[in-house]
Structure 1
Amino acid sequence: MQDPFEKFSDWYAKANDSEDLADAVALATSDSRGYPSVRMVLLKGHGPDGFTFYTNMESRKGQEILGNMRAALCFHWKSLTRQVRIEGPLQQVSDEEADAYYDSRARDSRIGAWASKQSRPMEGRFEFEAAIAKYAAKYAVGHIPRPPYWTGFRLCPEAIEFWEERKFRLHDRTRYRREGAGDWVVEKLYP
């Protein structure tokens, strides 16, 4: 059986050829009461060490992650009629890794990371636009440092499930589940 990371890479490459946002993935977290929430994020890296995305730690998502370092991801590539579900613990990326990715972002996105009080109420759009103008002026010249509350997380999979549509709802489902020292148990699942 194919390694799950190789299989994901194959499917992801095909999705990049046929989807506008192949890197868009639903991220599910839960709060301290166990109430779930889900939102779309963008995948910024993947490999045997896990699946990486970035966020504002002061956002609802960031606070839920810091309170429960477990999450789930769900990719859905409609054009391919495929889905990949991934579950496991999260680990924060290093400051060096977060800095490198932050520095690769468009200037306006870096300014936006400073200006947005993500997930918190605002009185109106003008309040946000004023903050954008403030940080655009502050960082008009030179390097824009990464805000201390902005970082990345890597989901380290304990389970990866591949789903592919088949006729008459006789879909193909394969789950890879880690056991013991990291060996993968492969299971075919009923659709």
Structure 2
Amino acid sequence: MDLSDIRREYTRGGLRRNDLPTSPVPLFRKWLDQAIDAKLTDPTAMTVATVDKEGQPFQRIVLLKHFDDDGFIFYTNLGSRKALHLADNAKISLHFPWHGIERQVHVTGIAEKLSAFEVMKYFSSRPKESQIAAWASKQSSRLTARQALEGKYMELKQKFSQGEVPVPTFWGGYRVKLTSVEFWQGGEHRLHDRFLFSQSEDDNSSWDIERLAP
């Protein structure tokens, strides 16, 4: 089959200006709840895009762990490629591809490191196996074989078999302070609905809203 022949109609409904709140977070919350209710696979999964020193973009899938009016939160190894990129360029892009309900959300913002307290609070809530895995993996570094990773994990599992697993000094998280949020709703005949919330230049607490052509 020719890839150019693969297409489908989007028929689940539209998005109108009167449907929009004055800020993006309430609509994102509503859409995420609907994605969860629709039993989509990994509804909190988002593509995280960063840029290296040479301007080369990189993308990877990360899970959203919290959001509110202050921003969107995710966690990672602070020695990972994404963290090294953010140390030089804190601008970041997030993308939620909710194909099953014919929606997408695209976010741009500035990534700020979370406090030690916030990191500790979340780390302590993780399953013990995930806590140990954070210690075992030097994220984005080269591995000679999978057995090396598994061996390190088993070694640490034995080490931490009694008591709590401490938070690694090289593990943390980021809060993405929003600068723009775009909501995309699929429409019939490729007449999709797109609305862009952009932070007002005059008032950081208010948002400008524009309809974009599909």
TM-score (norm: length of structure 2): 0.87
* Paired amino acid for 1:89: I
Show CA shifts across 1:64-87 (max 9, x none). Answer: 111211100000101110000000
2:102 corresponds in structure 1 to: 81
Partner residue in 2 for 1:163: 184
Deviations 1:135-161 (A, max 9, x none): 111111111011111101011110000
Per-residue deviation, residues 158-179 of structure 1 (Å, max 9, x unmatched): 0000000000000000000001
Match of 1:13? 33
Task: Point out 4+ residue stretches in structure 1 off by more than 3 angstroms.
Answer: none
2:65 counterpart (25, 44, 59): 44
Post-superposition offset of 1:16 = 0.8
Match of 1:190 in 2: 213
Instruction: Write the mapping of 1:23-172 to structure 2, written as runs, cut at 5 A.
Output: 23-172=44-193
Quote the RMSD (CA, aligned, Å). 0.8
Identity %: 36
> What residue number does 1:181 align with?
203
Stretches of structure 2 that go unaligned for 5 or more consecutive residues are 1-19
Q: Which amino acid aligns with 1:4?
A: P
Larger Rg: 2
Aligned mates of 2:91, 2:164 — CA distance in 1: 34
Q: Report the TM-score when normalising by structure 1.
A: 0.98
CA distance in structure 2 between the partners assigned to 1:79 and 1:87 by the alignment? 23
TM-fit CA distance, 1:129: 1.1
State the AA in 2 paired with 1:103: S
1:1-50 deviations in whole A, cap 9, x for unaligned? 40210000000000111212100000000001111000000000011001
Q: Distance in 2 between matches of 1:22 and 1:41?
A: 11
Classify the secondary structure of the residue corresponding to 1:8.
helix
Aligned equivalents of 2:125, 2:136: Cα separation in 1: 18
